[in-house]
Amino acid sequence: MSSWSAIAQVSVTATATLRGTLIDFKSREPLARVKVELPGQSREAMTDDHGRFELTQLEPGEVEISVSTVGYSKLGQKLKIPAGQTLDLEFPLGPEAVKPTAAGALNVVTVTGKSGLSAMPATPSLYAMNNTDLQNLSTVLANDPMRAMQTLPGVSANQDFYGQFAVRGAGPGHVGVVIDGVLLDNAFHGFTDKGDLGSVSIVNGSLVDSSSLFSGVAPARFGGRTGATVQVDTREGSRDDSFTRLDVDFLSASLTQEGPLGTEQRGSYIVSARKSYLDYLTSSLKVKSSTLGYSDLDVKLDYDLNPSNHLSLTTVLGTSQFAREANLEGNQSLGALTDGSGQQEFSTLRWTSKVSPRTTSRAQVFWAKDSQTQRNSAGGLLMDTDATQYGLNEELTHSLSDQQTLEGGLNVRQRQTSLKEQSLWNYQVGTLSTALVPVADFSKSSVESGAYLQDTAKLLNDQLTLKLAARWDYSSATGQSVFLPRLDASYALRPGTQVAAALGQTAQFPSMDNLYGKFGTPGLNAERATTAALSLDQDLGDRWRLHTELYERNESQLIYSPLTQFRLTSSGSYAIPTTGPVLTNGLSGYARGVEIMLQRQSANGFSGWLAFSRSQNRYTSDTGMEFSGDHDQRTSITAYGSYRWNNTLSFSAVARYGSGTPIPGYLGASSGASSRGDGPVVMYAMSPSLNTQQATDYQRLDLRVNKVIYGPKYKLTLKAEIANVLNHSNWRYYDYSYPAPGTAQTVAISRNTTMPRLPTLGLSLEF
């Protein structure tokens, strides 16, 4: 399960001595408070602050060594200690759910005296998480790695039920999620809904190796979104031994099996199955007779064809289900979702080839599917949608010298989307109908292709790093091509101090729904954004780092039309949405702000960060209307910390604060809260101004403790967490009920709290 170097020294006695150093698999940091045992000789030791241990007066011969500490995978290994000699070994330990192997350890880049995440970022606006932080922040509630990303600077996520989030004002639809190199349109179990259901990532948290958030200008290989990019990489399985892991969380249980492929340690496999059980949660949250369920099967295969060629296959097969009792009276129940089913599937095969000592090729084919069907209590179809994509990527990296690297790539994907949608609201006459009315019905396909080139050069004795890059993207659905230049520079003012700047353009083509849906308008252009960022990173010693960043994103040609919303006009008359080709590229805006993050990343003692963000997100339409963005969160503060107390106990806590974001819509003053058959509502007068009303501030504090119990052949981790310790009422607003023309111009919005104070328990059993 591990690799080490052994130095034999002659001893004058017939007994043997075993010494060693325990290090973190990736950061190479020495690990303190790690228990080292020789069960057969009833001997044990604990590593010191330098990760060192020593066992003397040992009986020579073959022994079995066991190494364990909380937050890291248990390591067991047989080795032979010659009589009268001393072995001095180095053991790498992998984080929880990660199995370092001999092959994997040889590929780790040594970073002397620093953890990988505490090192200076390779580009401004880059925030990364390792597996340990992901496990602590994914919550015992759902074990969702996407929820861990919600604690990073600039991220807005005030809906506890949802894994999706906004970044620097850009909503989930403009945030790209890239899993194992593939941009997915939907990386979540869930449904298109009115804001009261929820969602969970399609990737089981125990399979994720690392996640990175590019809040601003991402590397040129990423395209297709005007906002942030989330990069998720899954891990390889163990190449040494087979392991089984059972994870039981509050919402779901998963069983994971991993091990080597073949007898030569040339490959590995991981198979993980997950199933949710949400009945208790929905009753605790007082969601009336509704259940959102999900299940998935994840498969990861890795194999070395030879030392220069590696194959990797990732497959996720998922389903989502929703059931709810109809709680509206009369024909209004015909418009309420009571039964839903969906599929979220994804598969990719990657071939990494060392073409020459200086050139690496990464070829990839992929396929993804996202479909859902929604029905009312009478079985009537509300929505039936199916979106598939398949394609290929090719990336080449060539090192011209030790100071210059060229990267280039091509990508092509075929997209097929169909949608049928019916509504109880009859837009033609402006009233509720007595039967469902078709509002969208199309089936369309398109091809999207792109290419990029990036040149990275190190100058001035490696003090200055320059990245010059450009992307070209094309969509057959619109016939439009876009050229997107990018520039990235970082300069080491002195050891431990780095200033960096980035400037780049991004684009996002219209979705099929934009072009052919309820308000579909053929001929729309791509949305555009130009982002600039300036950052300063200061190493404060003892693995502390201070990151300060200023940014501005200017957006243009955004797709919008007030004709898609219920509203009052400037003259005070009431207007309802107009179906048909009403969308335009008539919206522009900006998001600007500052982010400050104080971080300590260490395998020993305290690890975590304190982050502060202050920002503004505003838009202007081609008619001159100005308004705040739906995700305009002016202030956010996040604090996260974890501490490994000893080899069996660790603590972590996360606190989040976010100022209230707008309640989307043309809403005026509120006349107060009341109740109706399906729960509490808040009444608002209609208004000619958009997004003027704000939700209350978001606050949440979560506490967690992990306790490990070791057995001869197993490791049991008990996880206890209290979500929303202070029981703060974080309100959610959903399901808008608009008036018919000629009636009182008030809108009723359902309102309820999200997560109450909720104790949760979970466990992980590894054997």
- Which residues in the chain land under pLDDT 70? 1-13, 96-120, 195, 278-290, 326-333, 677-678
- Three-state DSSP class for residue 483: strand
The answer to whether the CB of 129 falls within 8 A of the CB of 119 is no
Q: How far apart are CA 228 and CA 510, in angstroms?
A: 17
CB 67 within 8 A of CB 78: no
CA 487: distance to chain centroid? 25
Give all strands of the β-sheet with 679-686 in edge-to-edge order: 667-676, 679-686, 746-753, 731-737
Domains and CATH numbers, the chain: 7-105 (2.60.40.1120), 126-766 (2.40.170.20)
Which tokens hold the place of 96? 């929880």
The confidence score (pLDDT) of residue 739 equals 86
Q: Which amino acid is at 639?
A: A
Over residues 191-229, the pLDDT tens digits come to 887 767 788 899 888 888 888 999 988 899 999 999 999
Nearest partner of 515 among 593, 431, 590, 419, judged by Cα: 419
**pLDDT tens, residue by residue, 623-678:** 899 999 999 999 999 999 999 998 899 999 999 999 999 999 999 999 888 877 66
pLDDT at res. 106: 26
320 vs 278: CA distance, rounded Å: 12
For the chain, give me the number of helices (H) and strands (E)? 5, 46
Q: Which residues have CB under 8 Å from 381's CB, separation 6+? A: 373, 374, 375, 420, 422, 436
Amino acid letter for position 96: E
Tokens representing residue 618 in the block: 């505003």
> How high is the mean pLDDT of the chain?
88
Assign residue 605 a region (left: φ > 0; alpha: ψ between -120 and 50; beta: otherwise): left
Angle at 118 between CA 112 and CA 121, to 5 degrees: 105
DSSP readout, 487-555? EEEEEEEETTEEEEEEEEEEEEPPPHHHHHSTT--TTPPPEEEEEEEEEEEEEEETTEEEEEEEEEEEE
**Confidence (pLDDT) at 225:** 96
pLDDT of amino acid 60? 86
Bridge partners, 752 (sequence order):
732
Cβ atoms < 10 Å from Cβ of 344: 24
Question: In 3D, which of 57, 60, 50 has the Cα closest to residue 23?
Answer: 50
Contact 164, 702 (CB under 8 A): no
